[in-house]
Chains A and B, each alone.
Chain A
Amino acid sequence: MLDIKEYLKPNTVQSAYEMGQMPNSLYVSGGLMVAQLKISSVERLVDLKGVGLSHIEDHGNAFKIGANAKISDLISNPSLNINGDFIKIALKEIGSTQIRNMATLGGSIAFKLGWSDVITIFMVLNSNLEIYDGKFSEISLETYAKKSMKGAIITAVEVPKTEGIAVFEKFAKSNFDIATLNLGLKIVLDGQIVKDARVVVGSRPMVSQRIKEVEEFLIGKHIKSASKDACDLIEKVIQVGSDIRASTNYRKALSKSLLDKALRRVQL
């Protein structure tokens, strides 16, 4: 039990935002993260579920996914089949059945947790966030991950429909565990030549980050012949840290191993 005073259930984003501005308030969406908080200063929970925002809409050139959509809703939605059914296949790697039934897309991003698989998965898709902080605005997930936006509400995630194939790789000690390191790769091929590439690594243990050096290295090259060098490169350039799960050097080595696996998979 959390020792809190109020559990509020606003119906609109605007009222939720106002409640969120009161001191010691915290937004709650799926609840998974908040329930485990050991912070005793929180007095008020603002439940965002009442504001809706759980629809998955096809906008032609992009999908707009409401921030309150559950991970399991995304997995079971057949229309989200893009980039080699990437979203469904990748999201199945997350947590457990129960966790995917509870965790929402917005909640999985908002805490900017280093080990979030969701951030890596959607960053590799070049996603944008719709944010409300008194007014609606858009920001790329990549920028959001680096920026402090306290009090703002993520209302939706926009996933552009792009060509290419994407894969997600995760290294964890156990089948039911957070990633020691995760990696997303999206490749657009013209024959065997890499037209575009996007590489994102998470659980470094810091929050997910694009590895632009590797992206740039791959673009314009023959995928087969460039793979080995790309793997060597990522180990050199990636910025990672150490924690109880792995040392810095091991994470570097894992980035190479995961990129190798990912490059093999996109060529299948």
Chain B
Amino acid sequence: MKTLTEEKLNVVNTSVEKVDGKALVRGKPVFTDDFDIPNTLTVKILRSPYAHAIIKSIDTSNAMIEGVVCILTYKDVPHVIYTRAGQGYPEPSPYDTFVLDKKVRYVGDGVAIIAAETESIAKRSMKLIKVEYEVLPSILDYEHAMDKDAPIIHDELEISGAYDPKRNIAAHYEMEIGNVEEELKQCDYVVDETYYTPNQSHAMMEPHGAISYFDPNGRLTIITSTQVPFHARRIIKRIFGVNSRVIKPRIGGGFGGKQALHVEPYVVAVTLKTGRPAKCIYSREETMTASNTRHAMRFRARAGAMKDGTLRALELWGLSNTGAYGEHALTVFMVGGSKTLPLYNKVKAVKFGGDVVYSNTEPAGAFRGYGAPQGMFPLDSVLDELAHKIGMDPIEFKLKNSIREGETSPIFKIMGEGREGVDQIINSCKIEECAINGSKEFRWYEKRKQPRIDRQRQIAHGYGVAFAMQGSSIPAIDMGSATIKMNDDGTFNLLVGATDLGTGSDTILAQIIAEVLNTTVEKIIVYSSDTDMTPFDKGAYASSTTYVSGNAAKKAAEKMKREILNAASEIMNKPIHTLELDKDGVISEDGATLSFSDLQTKLFYTFNQRQLEVTESFVSEVAPPPYLVSFVEVEIDLNSGKVKVIDFLNYIDCGVPINPVLARGQVEGASAQGIGMALFEDHVMDKSGRLITNDFFTYKIPARGDIGRIQVRFAKSYEPTGPFGAKSVSEIGLDTPGPAIANAIFDAIGIRIRRLPISSETLFFEIRKKGL
């Protein structure tokens, strides 16, 4: 097997400057709201104050004040059912959503679209719309969604793809390998506990927003802050029956929140109605309350092991809250098992399943980790509990039972993206190195010999560890492609559908091309995510851009290399096998050279005239998981219950990091979001179902100084199927903070918290109960 050191790399595995870096640090107008198109209407959405209601009447006559151009209600928009989820087609999410409907299903659901000359006119008009609601009983607690007398949230006739809407079940899944019940009976130790993970807001700094307009030739054009421009175009066509061009500018963070259509249908409805450009930028409150949140989940976890630490059986049985609409309902839930359980592939029996239910709360959707953080919290916690029961060090216990290179898990084949998955043998897995080197650097064993409680200062220190895996792409479904065009100035255009939402994917794709073509990143001019200009790409999700779009880019670059060598062979009149690429040009065995610039100039004007341009596509057969072991030290104030993360060390196997600084940033950022989910970010609703924590004043994402140190170390790893040995890196960091912190709290004070976020109040009263 090839290793990193055997491959001579010039550009890949170096931290080149982000290709959009200069524009971003200068504050250039590159985001959706920065585009001013003349004559644009401002669009605002009137939203439901009720969690569940029928619109009995809606009177807009008083609201048509001067400056208001149109007000659209459910009567004025196409009655076409769809899913907002930006997924491959056909989507595994139920079709249960209309642009506007006669029924509203959560506080914040759309009621009317107002388009006006200015924002203040639109706001004034909104207050003058008279809506009469028939308020229906609602489900605010998803644990009661399947109760006998629960109201039916989706009783529309058009719904399709939902499992059992009459019982509010959007999706259901179950699988079992072996017989968990029987195996548990044979175990020396069994832990059986229930764990909760919360809703979480993406809280990307840039709110949702979109602009639509007809270009001079009458083509509907949409500029939108999206992770999925091609899916957006397809879904807009489904709803409105119109063709369009979707342009993704720079994106101010997405984290899965922009893997859905939020704003696009509203502006398109206005542009189609009025012929005028329309812009809608969500307020922070709308972004928090009327887009998507992480699926809250409850899992009963059962795990059984023998005295010697052999893990024998595992079960996760869950309930997931998809909120008012079912986007990503089934697939997020399944990832709770499919990207967690294969980590412990040596069990004799494993079971996973449960229901995803509707409730009258903000719709849940994709969020970095996509179910894996929800699955990993119960899984890693239950194993930690089991290790303590056996009396084994949790690292030794988890390591003893985890997957290794050359092995597989039957789950890979059984569980895929809403359907069957693919068989795969693990070619790269350095989890042992991550755990062993990580524990040395963290000084795990020394630290755990120290006393935990400092009576004088009334604080306690605790140490926790968590293991995680993720995937790289959705195999056999999602495709990415890349086009490379050679220019006569020695540069190349890279045209990709891949969607850089701040991650740096434009940069790492340019690095891959530059590596193959023996040039530098400055010579690769990247244009990404314009559905009329760039080839198709599934979009930015499922940890797939480096792996899928990266492989497509590499394939395209290799083809371009062959085209260049062919052309050079003709021009230089030398056999092709004597030629090689060398710094921005071609060199022959005898030292003759031809620069890229000269080559394409000759092809333009004087020699066998043609444009060198190639397109390649890539669909993966496998989804090689990255692996991560995270170590955390927490400090607990025994007098208040406040938990502070002192040190968070990540040891990761993501294959070869294409750009180490950007890869490190992905892990650091995901850790911070995971710490937010574990300790800070709380969704609080009032009795009517209105989210109270609806802005940055009340919903606290970790601020500077809230987290101690986050560190990232890369294991030496090479994934043979990845571009230059790379696997994914963007999501996995979110999987470990929850369980690692809960484990560390247990280590410090012997209190096991099984519900995130861990509030200082809850912990304080536990501490008091225990008399610490």
Closest-by-CB residue of B relative to A249 is B765
Interface status of A100 (Cβ within 8 A of chain B):
no
Q: A225: CB under 8 A from chain B?
A: no
Q: Collect the chain B residues with CB atoms within 8 Å of residue A250's CB.
A: 761, 764-765
B693 and A244 contacting across the interface, CB-CB below 8 Å: yes
Query: B713 in the interface, Cβ–Cβ < 8 Å?
Result: no
Complex: A244 Cα to B123 Cα, angstroms: 29
Given contacts A244-B692, A250-B761, A253-B764, A175 and B703 within 8 Å (CB-CB): yes
Please name the residue on chain A nearest to B679 by beta carbon.
Answer: A173
B118 vs chain A, min Cβ distance (A): 10
B768 interfacial by beta-carbon distance below 8 Å: yes
B window 666-720: CB within 8 A of A: 680, 684, 692-693, 697-698, 700, 702-706
What are the interface flags for B749-768 relative to A under an 8 Å C-beta threshold, 1 for contact and 0 otherwise? Answer: 00000000000110011001
**Is A171 touching B642 in the complex (CB atoms < 8 A)?**
yes
The proximity string for B residues 638-654 relative to A, scoring 1 for CB distances below 8 Å and 0 otherwise, is 01101000000000000
Residue of chain A at shortest CB distance from B692: A244
Residues from 1 to 18 in A contacting B, C-beta threshold 8 Å? 1, 3
Docked Cα-Cα span, A175 to B705, in Å, equals 6
Please state if B768 and A253 are interface contacts (CB–CB under 8 Å): yes
Per the bound structure, the CA–CA distance linking A256 and B639 in Å amounts to: 8
Contact B639 A260 (CB under 8 A): yes
Bits for A220-251, please: 1 = Cβ < 8 Å to B, else 0.
Answer: 00000000000000000000000010110110
User: B765 contacts which chain A residues (CB < 8 A)?
Assistant: 249-250
**Nearest-CB distance from B677 to chain A (Å)?**
14
The answer to whether B185 has its CB under 8 Å from any CB of chain A is: no
Closest Cβ–Cβ distance, residue A260 to chain B (whole Å): 6
Roughly how many angstroms separate A178 CA and B703 CA in the complex, as a whole number? 13
Between B639, B684, B692, the greatest number of chain A beta carbons within 10 A of the residue's beta carbon is seen for B639
Tell me, yes or no, whether B637 is within 8 Å of chain A by CB.
yes
Query: Measured between alpha carbons, how far is A244 from B110 in the docked complex, in Å?
Result: 27
Chain A contact residues: helix, strand, loop or mixed: loop
Report the bound CA distance from A183 to B761 in whole Å: 18
Complex CA gap A20/B749 in Å reads: 57
Known: A174-B700, A175-B705. Is A1-B119 also a contact (CB below 8 A)? yes
Chain A count of residues within 8 A CB distance of the other chain: 20
Interface residues on B, range: 20 to 34
B706 pairs with A175, CB closer than 8 A: yes
| Chain B 189-207 near chain A by CB (<8 Å), digits 1 or 0 | 0000000000000000000
Q: Does B243 contact A (CB under 8 A)?
A: no
Q: In terms of DSSP, what is the predominant structure of the interface of chain B? A: loop
CA distance A257 to B637 in the complex (A): 9
Which of chain B's residues have a CB closer than 8 A to the CB of A171?
Answer: 640, 642
- Residue A247 contacts which of B458, B693, B705, B761 (CB distance < 8 angstroms)? B761
**Is there an interface contact between B640 and A254, defined as CB atoms closer than 8 Å?**
yes
In the bound complex, what is the Cα–Cα distance between A247 and B760 (angstroms)?
A: 11
Check B639–A257 contact: CB distance below 8 A: yes
List the B side residues contacting A257 at CB < 8 Å.
637, 639-640
Is A57 on the interface with B (CB-CB < 8 A)? no
Interchain CB contact under 8 A, A173 and B700: yes
Contact with A along B148-192 (1 / 0, CB 8 A): 000000000000000000000000000000000000000000000
Residues of chain B lying within 8 A (CB to CB) of residue A261: 639
A138 at the interface (CB under 8 A from B): no
Q: CB-nearest residue of chain B relative to A261?
A: B639
In the complex, are the beta carbons of A177 and B764 less than 8 A apart? no
Q: B120 within 8 Å of A by Cβ?
A: yes
Chain B residue contacts of A254, Cβ below 8 A: 640
Q: Which residues of A are found within 8 Å of B637, using beta-carbon distances? A: 257
- Please state if A1 and B120 are interface contacts (CB–CB under 8 Å): yes
| CB-nearest residue of chain A to B123 | A3
Not counting A176-B704, A244-B693, a sample of 5 additional A-B residue pairs whose C-beta atoms are within 8 angstroms of each other reads A175-B705, A176-B705, A247-B761, A250-B765, A256-B639
> Can you list 12 A-B contacts (CB < 8 A)?
A171-B640, A173-B700, A174-B703, A176-B704, A177-B700, A244-B692, A244-B693, A250-B761, A250-B764, A250-B765, A253-B640, A260-B639
4 nearest A-B residue pairs (beta carbon): A176-B703, A257-B639, A175-B705, A174-B700
